[in-house]
């Protein structure tokens, strides 16, 4: 067996390839808006800032999210429970601004079964890429207004004093804040997956 191809940083100059966003002569395959006209469920915005170990904002990160729809179904035939009932794809990509900011417009995901068959708390999987990152770091976005967080199997693997780093705070109706700290006392929990 060949062994996998190692990851390498996206570097600082990914934008015209991955997130041209109208600034370059190339079209976007993906954007930070996951909403489709026929999508059902609660529309939400997730926004935040990414910080490095000095507390400085990171203006050259790429964030990707992958999530189920509001019914808790993935737009992937490997989810054999049946496909979503809308054109929602569940994947989004965002670069960061000069101020280290990102945002996604999406729907709040429904519950997805865990490895033990029990429902997980609603969550979004996030991959963090960037200059100075040899490979993506994987985290999860949970929501502070979900009682199911307390019994979530993955959440319970995280030391209690670090759980707040992966729970998005509701800052306005339909708006959640999820900041990312690559290092420091509030370092975001990253998973080995």
Partner 1 sequence: MTLIYPVESNAAHAPRLSPGYKSTIKRAPQKQRILMPHTLSETTGPVYGHETVRPGDHDLTTMHAGEPLGERIIVHGTVMDEDGRGVPNTLVELWQANACGRYVHVWDQHPAPLDPNFTGAGRTVTDAAGNYKFVTIKPGAYPWGNHHNAWRPAHIHFSVFGHSFVSRLVTQMYFPNDPLFPFDPIFNSVTDEKARLRMVSDFDLDVTEPGWALAYRFNIVLRGRNATPTENH
Length of the chain, please? 193
SS3 83: coil
Q: Indicate the residue among 47 and 60 with the shorter CB distance to partner 1.
A: 60
Q: By CB under 8 A, which span of 15-23, 39-47, 100-108, 142-150 interacts with partner 1?
A: 15-23
Using DSSP's 3-state secondary structure scheme, residue 66 falls into strand
Residue 131 binding result from partner 1, Fe ion, none, given CB thresholds of 5 to 8 Å by partner type: partner 1
Q: 68 and 90 in contact (C-beta within 8 Å)?
A: yes
Residues numbered 7 to 36 that lie near Fe ion (CB under 5 A) are 11
Does residue number 53 form part of the binding site for Fe ion (CB under 5 A)? no
Token pair of 77 as six digits:
């035939």
Segment near partner 1 (CB under 8 A), from 24-32, 37-45, 99-107, 168-176?
24-32
Among 96, 100, 123, 143, binds partner 1 (CB under 8 A): 123
Hey, what's the torsion of the CAs at 39, 106, 190, 138, to 10 degrees? 60
55 versus 171: smaller Cβ distance to partner 1: 55
Rounded CA-CA distance 42/14 in Å is 32
Q: Does 29 bind partner 1 (CB under 8 A)?
A: yes
Indicate the DSSP class of residue 187: P
Quick check: 192 binds partner 1 (CB under 8 A)? Answer: yes
Binding string, 77-116, against partner 1, x = CB under 8 A?
Answer: xxx---------xxx--------------------xxxx-
Between CA 41 and CA 107 the distance in angstroms is 6
By CB under 8 A, residue 41 contacts partner 1: no
Distance from C-alpha of 144 to C-alpha of 113, rounded to nearest angstrom: 19
Instruction: Work out how close the CB of 8 gets to partner 1 at its nearest, in angstroms, rounded to a whole number.
Output: 4
For residues 133 and 190, what is the distance between their CA atoms, to the nearest angstrom?
A: 13
Chain positions 162 to 181 lying near partner 1, rule: CB under 8 A, are 162
Q: Half-sphere exposure of 77 toward its Cβ, with a 13 Å CA cutoff?
A: 0
Is the Cβ of residue 11 or residue 53 nearer to Fe ion in the bound state?
A: 11
Q: What is the contact surface with Fe ion in residues (CB under 5 A)?
A: 11
């Amino acid at each position: 067996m060949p062994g996998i191809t190692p990851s390498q940083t996206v570097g600082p100059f990914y934008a015209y390839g991955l997130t041209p966003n109208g600034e370059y002569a190339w079209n976007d395959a993906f954007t930070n808006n996951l909403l489709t006209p026929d999508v059902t469920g609660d529309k939400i915005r997730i926004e935040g800032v990414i910080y490095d170990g000095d507390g400085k904002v990171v203006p050259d990160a790429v964030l990707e999210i992958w999530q189920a729809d509001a019914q808790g179904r993935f737009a992937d035939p490997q989810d054999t429970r049946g496909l979503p009932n809308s054109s929602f794809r569940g994947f989004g990509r965002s670069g960061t601004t000069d101020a280290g900011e990102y945002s996604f417009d999406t729907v709040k995901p429904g519950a997805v079964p865990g490895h033990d068959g029990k429902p997980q708390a609603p969550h979004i999987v996030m991959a963090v890429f960037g200059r100075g990152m040899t490979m993506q770091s994987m985290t999860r976005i949970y929501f502070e207004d979900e009682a199911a967080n307390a019994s979530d199997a993955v959440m319970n693997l995280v030391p209690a004093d670090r759980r707040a780093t992966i729970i998005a705070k509701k800052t306005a109706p339909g708006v959640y804040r999820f900041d990312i700290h690559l290092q420091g006392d509030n370092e975001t929990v990253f998973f080995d997956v």
